[in-house]
Amino acid sequence: MMKKDKLELVRGSGNVFRDLGRENADVEQLKALLASEIIKTLDRDELTVRGAQARTGFAAADFSRIRNADLARFTADRLVSILNRLGSRVEVKIRVKRLDAKSIPDSLPLPH
């Protein structure tokens, strides 16, 4: 017989990296979104990593890392450059929300 535990519904912030308490959550989210668009383009155009290398000049290993979500070596601007060379233009809309002092982790200094 299974025990019936009540499940608690927790709403995410919209950024899984923030929900996991990652220090650079906004940058990680941006990089993940850009990588996702790169993968969609590779799939849509049926490009192998070698084909993507031939089209863009970026190393095949870079496309393998992107496909494996290994984004630590990439900057956001490099991912944008890859998308540009794949034939896409990136438009960025920025919304900045000010944090209140209670939501800033102790490890980050408060602005003066």
Q: Report pLDDT digits (tens) over 79-93.
A: 999 999 999 999 989
pLDDT for the residue 2: 61
Which residues lie closer than 8 Å to 72 by C-beta, 6 or more apart?
none
Q: What is the set of domains in the chain, with CATH numbers?
A: 21-98 (1.10.260.40)
pLDDT per position as a tens digit, 15-59: 899 898 999 999 999 999 999 999 999 999 999 999 999 999 999
> In the structure encoding, which two tokens stand for residue 11, read together?
């709403």
Query: How many CA atoms are closer than 13 Å to the CA of 57, on its beta-carbon side?
Result: 5
Pair 18, 25: CB distance under 8 Å: yes
Q: Give yes or no for residue 107 having a pLDDT over 70.
A: no
Confidence of residue 106 (pLDDT cuts 50, 70, 90): low
